[in-house]
Amino acid sequence: MIVLRAVRFLCLLAAAGVAGAAAAQQPDAEKAYRASQDAIGRPLPDIVLRDRLDRPVRLADYRGRPLVVSFVYTGCFQACPVATQALAKAVRQARAALGEEAFQVVSIGFNQPFDSPEAMAAFARQNRVADPRWEFLSPDRKDVAALTAAFGFSFEATPKGFDHITQATIVDPSGVIYRQVYGETFDLPLFVGPLKALRSGQAAEAVTLENVWEKVKLYCTVYDPNTGGYRVNYSLFFELFAGLTTFAGLGWFVYKSRRPAA
């Protein structure tokens, strides 16, 4: 499989403010990138797929937590396995930082009818993915076009397989596409950052002791470039605690100073 590596290059150029020149040289890459970006903010269609045990699964079943979605085809022997294993590494690091139950993952086989439940199960085994919160799904052949279009996923058949954009799509808990992450490999903060933001928003929705504590832990979880992973920065916790204590003390002082003497 020949991956559209130009998409990643185009993204870097766009960040540098020279995407216009690249667009003239890489029209197919620009089209794929634009389709992918246009999907952000789009609610997912409630399409029925089949899991590895050939059981029906709806995309709506994954609402309630952030969801990461990747597209693969099982006949690929290079780029799809590389991208899947890189994603698996990022998923492990994200779970270590955010919690085992923080998000779910699905990989969808777009080459139907060949990416059957049995083929997807074999692909998962071959890539050593044993995460219980990561499912491999097969859509019906008639739904592939609508499904891939909804995610902004572009692919094209070639004599050797498929050219396609390599992306991991991050979906918010309500089922709306929130972010696209590109490439066979990527910097970890590009992946963990959006998930952390979504989890922080969820923790802020309900004021309970558990959610407050989760939000504090998320706030104090930072990326360490020296190790290439995430860790809890306890100094931020103590700074936050000191700030809240100071604020509470000032509030009490103001209250006492304004309270009429008995």
Average pLDDT over residues 37-53: 96
pLDDT at 243: 55
Dump pLDDT digits (tens) for 181-236. Answer: 999 888 999 999 999 999 887 545 554 555 554 555 555 666 567 666 666 655 54
Average pLDDT over residues 25-45: 87
**Domain segments of the chain as ranges:** 2-185, 206-258
For residue 64, pLDDT over 60 is answered with yes
For residue 150, pLDDT over 50 is answered with yes
Dump pLDDT digits (tens) for 77-129. Answer: 889 999 999 999 999 999 998 989 999 999 999 999 999 999 999 999 999 99
Question: Bigger pLDDT: 80 or 23?
Answer: 80
For domain 2-185, which CATH number applies: 3.40.50.300, 3.30.420.40, 3.40.30.10, 3.30.470.20?
3.40.30.10
**Least confident range of 13-17, 28-32, 122-126:** 13-17
Can you give the three-state secondary structure of the chain, one letter per residue? Answer: CEECHHHHHHHHHHHCCCHHHHHHHCHHHHHHHHHHHHCCCCECCCCEEECCCCCEEEHHHHCCCCEEEEEECCCCCCHHHHHHHHHHHHHHHHHHHHCCCCCEEEEEECCCCCCCHHHHHHHHHHCCCCCCCEEEEEECHHHHHHHHHHHCCCEEEECCEEEECCEEEEECCCCEEEEEEECCCCCHHHHHHHHHHHHHHHHHHCCCHHHHHHHHHHHHEEEECCCCEEEECHHHHHHHHHHHHHHHHHHHHHHHHHCCCC
